[in-house]
Chains A and B, each alone.
Chain A
């Protein structure tokens, strides 16, 4: 088992000191290589769940184990390192560094940790997403679909244990969205990575081996 969530709660303090519970008693087990889609309406807690899984936020209570390690008790530094080694994130808005080329964007997470083969590995990743020709282009010179493919390459270049995707096709037109989704699933299949994606798109969700619906902070 790659991911084990047990009795997970997340609440936020309101301005009037009341608490609002966004996630309530979530339980989830995900196997290695499995693809899981989390669907739900806006405000159901999807993004909050993703930020907890990415180690970008801390749960209020419960357990969140990734690769048999409880990430909620890790120090900030350890968590940063764990994320850099094990978690690939794909954002809806791509979030590429505007001043770096496609190749530099992809090699960035490798260079940050002194990987001597960063250049080569980034080139391979770009090749995998079919953008070898565009490696010297800056984000503003790429289309939306190309930008998302670069973001996917950046997420997979570290060979993560789990790939987290937040509405990966949400900012793309239908045709481009399908192309990007095809690429994503192909990559997951060939590399054996685990994928957990959050989406509104039912077609995209149906391509996953398991679908979960989040409603008012609980799985239904």
Chain B
């Protein structure tokens, strides 16, 4: 016997879908709304990666760069440059953080000295001078003490082009403002706007001394055919063979520069992706519910097919075709919707994005969307698919098609949810780039679904109490209330799906502001004098006493004075600690570990812990150290830092403290309250070990109002030009402003989730009412008015809305408390206003959406209802 043509089953599947337009459209809208945010985010990420990839040379300004915190020795540089191919061009750059002052104000800036051909790629664009060529650069900056500044600095210092600023010991003329800088990053958050000087003029500032932390860069433009990775590796090997300060030279190629800049945005994208996943999940619940009812309604058609010779497998295949088609169509719709969301993301995240960034929908994103749509719809509906086993064609003779109960063993039910769990876990890990965060997210989502689902089940069981007929003659209201509760009871899957969609949406929209509110409250407490007002760094040891004296005159005390010693961790328990920088890390944890391992550390020492620190494991550090005792020194590590790089109590660490090898043993792990904004360190040594090592000092001043802050900042800068000052209050406000933008982007995704949840409610309400046409018709014939029946529906969805809102809020409070306890040192505050608005809002939306979904059907006359039934 022949087989049907290849197109037979797909075309039959399509015909059936077209014939069930209502179901098909709602299924697609449901899924599309969930997918839209996800797809928009994927396109956004792809665009950012592509932009950074395309502009990585412009970001670095070169193909390759050597960086050192001490000036390059000629001999060292010529040895390294001997590895470079012929026709390599080079230029130099210096940068440091320092203070700049006008007549009456000071600000922290990133001072950058450039020369000759900088940048090799991209162009610096000035407000007056336009795009600057290398020739113009030399002429414009070299001639006299001129500076180009970022426009925000003019605003901060209340200056105009043509006026002067003082940098270090010299006055510079602001000749222009930089309106486009290909090498600008968003990592400084605009806290320290950039000021460009000619390389040759940097010396005049008097800042290139050992008192300042200066970054010296040598930038290279290599011939196009050069294999940069090979060249980078070759030079890195050469650097490894050096000793002394030369061994600290870092080499970076433009690809890595792009990655570094994209890291911060990457973290935000990870979390946006997870929030968007909840929208997909809610949409999946709705889609699965709709599909379940569609299947039940189509048992008859399936039975007929089987009686005509179709095998059960063919019936399954036809349904799979339908799901694939719906999934792909939903993805196409989602792509269209995502085009509306995509432009919103760069608008919301403007401050974090590199200049010239544009979003584009990439072909790979579209393919991803189609695959996700098709696979997602299959996986979500898989638990429902097993119901096809209930279809028995012999029931065509009995008239109770699909009527018999399907006994599904527990293992089979669990197994049918497994692909969904695996897919969710896979996407979460992929989205968060972290096994830990991805798994924790899925775990929390699963817990939330199980808890809320369990709560919904319990509520429905309890609702039975309200569905009993009261004694005597009840009012219409009481009857409708009873019927509403009875409806909730008998359609448990619909009620639980609605409840879950609303509760999860409420959880999400409540969770984000709830966490944020706690943080905001904590960092924005003006009366809390423990939070410093000014933060001073780069203080030289010989300046400490003078600084104390100056501040004493102002009746102030420099608090939390902490030494900072730069060192490298070379070995852990005798094993090499350095990492292969060429390998691209796959997870955020690996990326962070590589970042930590590859960077110089800031060590400190203090006699006793600050208020913001507490020991969580081990014992306190000894207060003195005997170099002759032959035992390692004692160190304390911040607990999460130790966890990230896999260090534990008792580990023996070998540090290179500016060419002196120091061995130290971890004797305790500390918890640090970072939001105290006090000077804190990941690694603390016991006193007596690093006391003679070259160090700079940090300190803080507290309890200052705005005018006093300004006055002291100016005073310190004029007396100590090398000392940098951060206005902590201003920084906190700035960080909060930036967080606002992040939160707004997260909320956009969260609102998409609640929208997806409401579409679920709409679909279920509509479907439920259509399924109950016969009964509603009967109620009308028996004398119920439109308003009575509407009341019944409204009670049903009000009960669902209010309970889902309450449980969603409760879950969000528990979760936010847990997150605050785990990540933010217990900063938690219940913002009842948010909870109240969430519950009222969700209830109102639930009633409104249900009324909207059912209005037309309820209004139709009993006659038409009879006909259609």
A interface, CB within 8 angstroms of B: 47, 50-51, 54, 56-57, 76-77, 80-81, 83-85, 89, 91, 93, 95-100, 108-109, 111-115, 154, 166
Contact of B307 among A77, A89, A111 (CB under 8 A): A89
Bound together, the chains give a CA A108 to CA B307 distance in angstroms of 11
Bound together, the chains give a CA A75 to CA B87 distance in angstroms of 79
Bound together, the chains give a CA A99 to CA B399 distance in angstroms of 20
Are A56's CB and B307's CB within 8 A? Answer: yes
Bound together, the chains give a CA A57 to CA B166 distance in angstroms of 96
Contact of A113 among B3, B301, B396 (CB under 8 A): B3
Contact of A154 among B1, B306, B308, B310 (CB under 8 A): B308
Are A108's CB and B3's CB within 8 A? Answer: no
Are B15's CB and A51's CB within 8 A? Answer: no
Contact of A109 among B3, B309, B311, B394 (CB under 8 A): B309
A-B contact pairs, 20 of them (CB 8 A): A47-B397, A51-B397, A76-B312, A80-B311, A81-B309, A84-B308, A85-B1, A93-B396, A93-B399, A95-B303, A95-B304, A99-B19, A108-B305, A109-B309, A112-B4, A112-B310, A113-B2, A113-B4, A114-B5, A166-B397
Bound together, the chains give a CA A47 to CA B397 distance in angstroms of 6
What 8 A-B pairs are tightest by C-beta distance, nearest first?
A: A84-B309, A99-B19, A114-B2, A56-B394, A51-B394, A47-B397, A109-B308, A57-B394
Residue of B nearest to A116 (CB): B2
Bound together, the chains give a CA A50 to CA B304 distance in angstroms of 15
Are A56's CB and B393's CB within 8 A? Answer: yes
State how many angstroms separate the Cβ of B22 from the closest Cβ of chain A: 13
B contacts with A, residue count (CB < 8 A):
31
State how many angstroms separate the Cβ of B304 from the closest Cβ of chain A: 5
Are A99's CB and B309's CB within 8 A? Answer: no
Contact of A80 among B4, B15, B18, B309 (CB under 8 A): B309
Which of B8, B303, B394 gathers most chain A CB within 10 Å? B394
Bound together, the chains give a CA A166 to CA B395 distance in angstroms of 12
Q: Tally inter-chain residue pairs, CB-CB below 8 A.
A: 79
Are B397's CB and A97's CB within 8 A? Answer: no
State how many angstroms separate the Cβ of A151 from the closest Cβ of chain B: 10
Contact of B15 among A56, A57, A99 (CB under 8 A): A99
Residue of B nearest to A46 (CB): B397
Does B398 lie at the interface of the complex (its beta carbon under 8 Å from any beta carbon of A)? yes
Q: Which residues of B contact A54 (CB under 8 A)?
A: 307, 394
Are A98's CB and B19's CB within 8 A? Answer: yes
B interface, CB within 8 angstroms of A: 1-5, 8, 15-16, 18-20, 300-301, 303-312, 314, 392-394, 396-399
Residue of A nearest to B8 (CB): A111
Bound together, the chains give a CA A83 to CA B394 distance in angstroms of 13
Are A113's CB and B1's CB within 8 A? Answer: yes
Are B398's CB and A47's CB within 8 A? Answer: yes
Which of B307, B308, B396, B398 gathers most chain A CB within 10 Å? B308
State how many angstroms separate the Cβ of A2 from the closest Cβ of chain B: 19
Q: Which residues of B contact A111 (CB under 8 A)?
A: 4-5, 8
Are B311's CB and A76's CB within 8 A? Answer: yes
Bound together, the chains give a CA A84 to CA B304 distance in angstroms of 12
Q: Which residues of B contact A85 (CB under 8 A)?
A: 1
Bound together, the chains give a CA A206 to CA B307 distance in angstroms of 28
Bound together, the chains give a CA A76 to CA B306 distance in angstroms of 11
Are A91's CB and B396's CB within 8 A? Answer: yes
Q: Which residues of A contact B397 (CB under 8 A)?
A: 47, 50-51, 56, 91, 166
Are A97's CB and B304's CB within 8 A? Answer: yes
Bound together, the chains give a CA A199 to CA B670 distance in angstroms of 87
The prevalent SS among residues of B at the interface is: helix
Q: Which residues of A contact B312 (CB under 8 A)?
A: 76
Q: Which residues of A contact B307 (CB under 8 A)?
A: 54, 56, 83, 89, 95
Q: Which residues of B contact A108 (CB under 8 A)?
A: 305, 308
Which of A81, A99, A166 gathers most chain B CB within 10 Å? A99
Residue of A nearest to B9 (CB): A112
Bound together, the chains give a CA A84 to CA B306 distance in angstroms of 9
State how many angstroms separate the Cβ of B307 from the closest Cβ of chain A: 6
Residue of B nearest to A154 (CB): B308
Q: Which residues of A contact B306 (CB under 8 A)?
A: 56, 80
State how many angstroms separate the Cβ of B30 from the closest Cβ of chain A: 22
State how many angstroms separate the Cβ of A58 from the closest Cβ of chain B: 10
Residue of A nearest to B311 (CB): A80
Bound together, the chains give a CA A57 to CA B216 distance in angstroms of 86
Q: Which residues of B contact A95 (CB under 8 A)?
A: 300, 303-304, 307, 396
Which of B4, B16, B399 gathers most chain A CB within 10 Å? B4
Bound together, the chains give a CA A108 to CA B301 distance in angstroms of 12
Are B16's CB and A114's CB within 8 A? Answer: no
Residue of B nearest to A84 (CB): B309
List 19 additional A-B contacts (Cβ < 8 Å) besides A83-B307, A91-B396, A99-B20. Answer: A47-B397, A51-B394, A54-B394, A56-B392, A56-B397, A77-B311, A80-B311, A81-B309, A84-B1, A93-B396, A95-B304, A95-B307, A97-B301, A99-B16, A99-B18, A111-B5, A112-B305, A113-B3, A114-B2
State how many angstroms separate the Cβ of A171 from the closest Cβ of chain B: 11
Bound together, the chains give a CA A93 to CA B399 distance in angstroms of 9
State how many angstroms separate the Cβ of A144 from the closest Cβ of chain B: 16
State how many angstroms separate the Cβ of A220 from the closest Cβ of chain B: 21
Q: Which residues of B contact A83 (CB under 8 A)?
A: 307, 309
Q: Which residues of B contact A80 (CB under 8 A)?
A: 306, 309-311
Residue of A nearest to B2 (CB): A114
Q: Which residues of A contact B16 (CB under 8 A)?
A: 99
Bound together, the chains give a CA A80 to CA B393 distance in angstroms of 11
Q: Which residues of B contact A57 (CB under 8 A)?
A: 394
Q: Which residues of A contact B20 (CB under 8 A)?
A: 99
Residue of B nearest to A47 (CB): B397
Residue of B nearest to A80 (CB): B311
Are A113's CB and B309's CB within 8 A? Answer: yes
Are B398's CB and A112's CB within 8 A? Answer: no
Residue of A nearest to B18 (CB): A99
Are B308's CB and A114's CB within 8 A? Answer: no
State how many angstroms separate the Cβ of A47 from the closest Cβ of chain B: 4
Q: Which residues of B contact A115 (CB under 8 A)?
A: 2
Residue of B nearest to A151 (CB): B304
Q: Which residues of B contact A50 (CB under 8 A)?
A: 397
Q: Which residues of A contact B15 (CB under 8 A)?
A: 99-100
Bound together, the chains give a CA A84 to CA B15 distance in angstroms of 22
Q: Which residues of B contact A84 (CB under 8 A)?
A: 1, 308-309
State how many angstroms separate the Cβ of A121 from the closest Cβ of chain B: 14
Are B3's CB and A114's CB within 8 A? Answer: yes
Which of A50, A51, A57, A85 gathers most chain B CB within 10 Å? A51
Bound together, the chains give a CA A111 to CA B15 distance in angstroms of 15
Q: Which residues of B contact A81 (CB under 8 A)?
A: 1, 309
Bound together, the chains give a CA A47 to CA B301 distance in angstroms of 19
Q: Which residues of A contact B305 (CB under 8 A)?
A: 97, 108, 112
Bound together, the chains give a CA A1 to CA B16 distance in angstroms of 41
Residue of A nearest to B3 (CB): A114
Residue of A nearest to B307 (CB): A89
Bound together, the chains give a CA A154 to CA B308 distance in angstroms of 9
Are A112's CB and B8's CB within 8 A? Answer: yes
Q: Which residues of A contact B8 (CB under 8 A)?
A: 111-112, 114
Q: Which residues of A contact B394 (CB under 8 A)?
A: 51, 54, 56-57
Residue of A nearest to B304 (CB): A95
State how many angstroms separate the Cβ of B393 from the closest Cβ of chain A: 5
